[in-house]
A and B are shown apart, each in its own frame.
Chain A
C-alpha cells in the first residue's frame, strides 16, 4: 500500500518563499507529480520528478529524494494567484499500469 503525507495548510506573504513537503511510502515508485488546484477548479499539472534532484520551472521548483521517500515543492516570489491547494501524487507500478495515489493536498494562503 501507499501513504502520502503533506501539511494541511501553510500561510505566507506576497513575495516570500514557501516550501511544501511531501513524504511517501510505496512499493513500486515510478515518479512523483505535483498539481495545483484552485478552489472550485480542476487540478492542473505543475511538475514531475522520477530521478533524485531538483527540477526548476520558473518560480516553481520540485525536489525528490527516493531513498528518503521525500519531495518538496518550492514556490518563490509568491503572488496572490498562488493561493491554491497543492497536491502531491505518487505513481505506483506494482500492478503494472501505474496508478496515481494522491495526498490530501496542502492549502497555501498568500496574504498581502
Chain B
C-alpha cells in the first residue's frame, strides 16, 4: 500500500552542494511531477514527465534537472543548491489526463533547507 514514496524526508545542504531527491510510485501511473511548496504561494510545478524517458519543464524549472529512466521512478536533481531553493518538495503521479477524473497522488514531501 505504498503509493508515492519520497526519499529523503529531510535534508540540510550548504550553498553550492548538489543532491538528488528520489520519487517512486507503485500504481503504474504514466505521469509524474515535481512541485515545490512555499508559504503563501501554493504548489508550483518544477518539472514533469508524461512517460518513461521523457521530461518537460514546468513553471519554475531553473536550477533543477530531472530524469525518468524507469516508469516508476522520477528523480529531481539540484546541481548547485541556493538558499532560494529552501522549500518543501512534493512528488506526485497520475494516470494520463485522458482519464480525466483521475487525481494526482502525492508523496509525503521532502523538507529541504539550504544554508
Contacts and interface: CB of A to CB of B under 8 A. Distances in A.
Interface stretch (A10-18, A41-49, A58-66, A69-77): A41-49
A99 B44 CA distance: 11
B97 A43 contact: no
Contacts of B100: 30-31, 50, 91, 98
Interface residues of A, number: 26
Contacts, number: 54
A100 interface: yes
A43 B42 contact: no
A96 B9 CA distance: 33
Interface in A82-103: 87, 89, 91, 93, 97-100, 102-103
B41 A104 contact: yes
Contacts of B44: 102
A103 B42 contact: yes
Interface in B47-96: 48, 50, 58, 90
A24 interface: no
